[in-house]
Structure 1
């Protein structure tokens, strides 16, 4: 005959493995999304791209689930949490490594300066503190252009401007031309892409500056169709580029994990260490400004303090 106390202990032993099953399941789902985010469909509402835009923040699920596992005193849940932890570190851990002292040939600054920036001169001074060799700017208005030109001239006397994007360089610039990245239905006065050849001491480099269309988050999901179309057009132009070494700087309105940038990501290498979140300036949650390269290496990238823009500037070291 089984004693009542023994029966109770037996029931507890049966229930124990059930503890934390929901927490463990959430951990497994988080690990799956981090590792196989491309498996999330982009229709309806481009939810795949939306997930990829904020993918690093999925790691916040780990400490939340850790607290839940501790409260449940579930060994199963604690073990399951190793999966999303490993997935996050495998994907984003290299970006947290110190930049080191690797050799580089070019210091590049990328900044969407904002067309409502009330202090373009102060913005230019902030960028020059990094002693850049090239500076790429977006949302350069006709009113602010003379200010940027004068302020940047001491360090970067060579410049080229097409529409609202511009390039300043410490080295000579030639072969400047617009790059048509207009999505369907956009008029001819929309000029937000350019390329130029920069004659560095290490040889010619084709530098592209681009500002892809903005995306909007609404009731129908992420409105990124025009941005994706523009990214594909830019990728076609870079694929046809005859100069071997290419540097792309711009406000691409997408993170490098976002599948909308796949046409570019398949042709260019992304930056090395550095999370470098750049938007919004008040509380950066994503790096939508990018520095990418072909036949060159972006050694590292980091964000700079806020200027008068809603984006943070980026500075990158590039080895040719």
Structure 2
């Protein structure tokens, strides 16, 4: 039988450990150390903050007020860091600045081609998607999507497929594509294209898929993210830029937030959608990390929704993106979704 004093000591140690985990996650999220453990620890920061909150409750029950205060302090700092994601407009974007047409973009990692092609195409059709970015596409899945009728809905495409490793990527579009290019220096296919949406200047689209730090050296992951940042920086003078994909990085990680410079803003930050966890989507427990992301510059995200990708281990994203039209700077009324 454990006596009261021993139980209280155990509760204090447990609560302090929970608080320490939360603090470790916060520290890891604030630094850009390219080593696997801190990188993965940073990705788990939201979960570790919940652990710290549990520690605060346990400390309160044990009347360990100092430990409780420490745990609550960790939770408060974490909440302050993540709260802007839940507040629409906290990213500093003024929707009135985007006066052009609205396009609907869908992001989908199809798990080495294992996602159901018929269901994916039906999602594109039902949601009237204009642009689709795909990761882990294979030769077989390209054929499956074609057979399911994707080409009829999104006839313009840039596909770099791979079998059987799923290192391919693709851009499908209702609108004409030009200047298509596969970025060099990446394990998987990272693509870029200009999308002719009817404005004076094309939309610059970057479809990304850096290597995951959980499977490959963290320095490789960080180097590929820096490559993505370089491509984004090269497009900063463009009127509208959209970066969409499986970043294998989430908002709590400093390396991801370092992408958000020069006017680039995370879609979830623009609409107050929160962390938007997208993986894993095929387990008994909910998705815990949001590595599928959309970032824009110039263009403004007006809605963002997480969707199911049948057969994949990722959830997908669907975003309505209102484009900036420099030729009509005074318009403030958002137009309807354009269809070529």
Q: Partners in 2 of 1:177 and 1:240 — Cα distance?
A: 14
1:83 matched to which residue of 2?
Answer: 73
Residues 299 and 35 from structure 1, CA distance in 2 versus in 1: closer, same or farther, beyond 3 angstroms?
farther
2:224 matched to which residue of 1?
Answer: 230
2:160 matched to which residue of 1?
Answer: 162
The correspondence for 1:180, drawn from 178, 184, 194, is: 184
Q: Partners in 2 of 1:51 and 1:167 — Cα distance?
A: 32
The correspondence for 1:122, drawn from 104, 119, 122, is: 119
SS of the residue corresponding to residue 153 of structure 2 reads coil
Q: Partners in 2 of 1:151 and 1:179 — Cα distance?
A: 28
Q: Displacement of 1:301 after TM fit? A: 3.3
Does residue 281 of structure 2 align to residue 287 of structure 1?
no
1:270 matched to which residue of 2?
Answer: 266
1:66-95 Cα offsets, whole Å, 9 max, x none, are 331232124444444442332232122333
Q: Displacement of 1:207 after TM fit? A: 0.4
Q: Partners in 1 of 2:88 and 2:32 — Cα distance?
A: 35
Does residue 239 of structure 2 align to residue 244 of structure 1?
yes
The correspondence for 2:253, drawn from 236, 255, 258, is: 258
- TM-score (norm: length of structure 2): 0.72
Q: Partners in 2 of 1:31 and 1:225 — Cα distance?
A: 24
Q: Partners in 2 of 1:115 and 1:26 — Cα distance?
A: 39
Q: Which moved more, 1:69-78 or 1:127-136?
A: 69-78
- The answer (yes or no) to whether the contact 1:197–1:204 under 8 Å persists in 2 is yes
Q: Displacement of 1:211 after TM fit? A: 1.6
Residues 40 and 212 from structure 1, CA distance in 2 versus in 1: closer, same or farther, beyond 3 angstroms?
closer
The correspondence for 1:315, drawn from 304, 315, 318, is: 318
Residues 310 and 39 from structure 1, CA distance in 2 versus in 1: closer, same or farther, beyond 3 angstroms?
closer
- The answer (yes or no) to whether the contact 1:53–1:286 under 8 Å persists in 2 is yes
- The answer (yes or no) to whether the contact 2:108–2:315 under 8 Å persists in 1 is yes
* Structure 2: gaps of 5 or more residues: 1-8, 90-94, 162-167, 324-340
Q: Displacement of 1:137 after TM fit? A: 0.6
SS of the residue corresponding to residue 144 of structure 1 reads helix
Q: Displacement of 1:126 after TM fit? A: 2.8
Q: Displacement of 1:158 after TM fit? A: 2.1
Residues 85 and 237 from structure 1, CA distance in 2 versus in 1: closer, same or farther, beyond 3 angstroms?
closer
Q: Partners in 1 of 2:15 and 2:232 — Cα distance?
A: 45
Q: Partners in 2 of 1:82 and 1:297 — Cα distance?
A: 35
- TM-score (norm: length of structure 1): 0.76
2:331 matched to which residue of 1?
Answer: none
What is the RMSD computed on CA atoms of the aligned residues?
3.2
Q: Displacement of 1:109 after TM fit? A: 0.9
Does residue 30 of structure 2 align to residue 42 of structure 1?
no
Q: Displacement of 1:248 after TM fit? A: 0.8
| Aligned residues between the structures | 289
Q: Which moved more, 1:267-276 or 1:31-40?
A: 31-40
Residues 229 and 22 from structure 1, CA distance in 2 versus in 1: closer, same or farther, beyond 3 angstroms?
same
Q: Partners in 2 of 1:141 and 1:58 — Cα distance?
A: 36
Q: Partners in 1 of 2:172 and 2:245 — Cα distance?
A: 13
Does residue 140 of structure 2 align to residue 143 of structure 1?
yes
Q: Displacement of 1:97 after TM fit? A: 4.9
The correspondence for 1:197, drawn from 194, 204, 219, is: 194
Q: Partners in 2 of 1:47 and 1:41 — Cα distance?
A: 12
1:3 matched to which residue of 2?
Answer: none
2:306 matched to which residue of 1?
Answer: 303
Larger Rg: 1
- The answer (yes or no) to whether the contact 1:112–1:309 under 8 Å persists in 2 is yes
1:193-217 Cα offsets, whole Å, 9 max, x none, are 1111112245521001122113336
Q: Partners in 1 of 2:30 and 2:277 — Cα distance?
A: 25
